[in-house]
Structure formats: C-alpha cells, structure tokens
Amino acid sequence: MINVIFALWLVNWRSRSLVLLAAVSGLAMVTVVSHEQSLNVGWNWSTLYAGFVRVTFAFTIGILLARDSATPRQTVSWAALVPIILLILAFGIPVPQQYRTMFDLAIGLFICPTILYYGIVFECPQQIRPLASFLGDISYPVYAIHFPLLFMFNHVA
C-alpha cells in the first residue's frame, strides 16, 4: 500500500515536505507506542492504524536517505557491520518491562534508520560478501514465513 501511495502521491513531494511527514509520523509513532506500550503493532485489525504510522515513518526516512545527494559513495569497510552487531547485542540485553516502550522507540526511531544509512554508505568487505549476499537473499522469505511459524509453534507449545 505504501508503494502505491508513493507512486501516486509522494514521488512528487519535495524533500522538505518529506522531512515534515517523517517528523509528524515520528511523533505519531511516539504517541502510538506510548498508548500501545509496544512497537509490535500494526499486524492485526485492531492496531492497523499503528502499522500505518510505522510504515509511513520508515518509508519516508528511506526515501529521504535514497534522495540525499550528499550521501557519499559506498566505502568498503568493516564499519558496515557495526550497527548490525550493536542491534544483535541490543536484542540480547534483557529489557525490564518499564523500559520496553523506550527501547522500542529507540529501535524504531534511531537504530533502524542508522542501519539503513550504514547500508547506503558502507559496503561489506569482500571476505564476507558471500555471507552477506546469502543473508540478503533469505531475509524476505524469512520475514514472509516468520509469523505463520510463530503462530504454529505457539499453538503447539
């Protein structure tokens, strides 16, 4: 749906307008997460509005990063792995429930856009490109089947 909206409407927006949309949707995301107490929303009918807010923020940030002509050419560097390693470490840290909302917001508003930026700016070194390519190839299939698998395993458990 967001791709259709982009193709019909947002493609003609200037970057300044997209920055405003990103800011508004980011503030809306703070409101949604504060209300729902989680960013794990938008995947069912009762929280569909929250999914719209999430995708609007993420998609708009992606458009802005893609349009940014000041972004340097990709540099081959091990720095390409830094945000991914930090994200893996962050998910390994147990977060007390009272800080879960702030943790979700930090991931959604800062960490994920930073990973996207690093993906634009840095390219993996040759030594790990086969692994990176493989992980890229399987990322969407894993995304597509993760919810049905979780549903089945939760039902069995």
**In the predicted model, what is the mean pLDDT of residues 59-64?**
90
- Residue matched to tokens 């634009």: 120
pLDDT tens digit sequence for 137-157: 998 898 889 878 888 888 787
What one-letter code names the amino acid at 148? P
d(CA 99, CA 110): 16
Return the ∠ at Cα 124 (arms to 119 and 128), rounded to 5°.
135
- What is the pLDDT, as a whole number, of residue 69? 57
**Class of residue 90 by CB neighbours under 10 A (exposed 0-12, middle 13-18, buried 19+):** middle
Which tokens in the block code for residue 40? 């794990």
- What is the pLDDT, as a whole number, of residue 28? 95
d(CA 53, CA 39): 10
Is residue 84 over pLDDT 90? no
Which of the four pLDDT bands, split at 50, 70 and 90, describes residue 13? confident
- What is the pLDDT, as a whole number, of residue 32? 92
pLDDT tens digit sequence for 14-24: 889 999 999 99
Q: Could you give the 3-state DSSP secondary structure of residue 74?
A: coil
Do residues 64 and 22 touch, judged by C-beta distance below 8 A?
Answer: yes
Which tokens in the block code for residue 94? 């147990």
Q: Provide the whole-model pTM.
A: 0.76
Other beta carbons less than 10 A from residue 144's beta carbon: 9
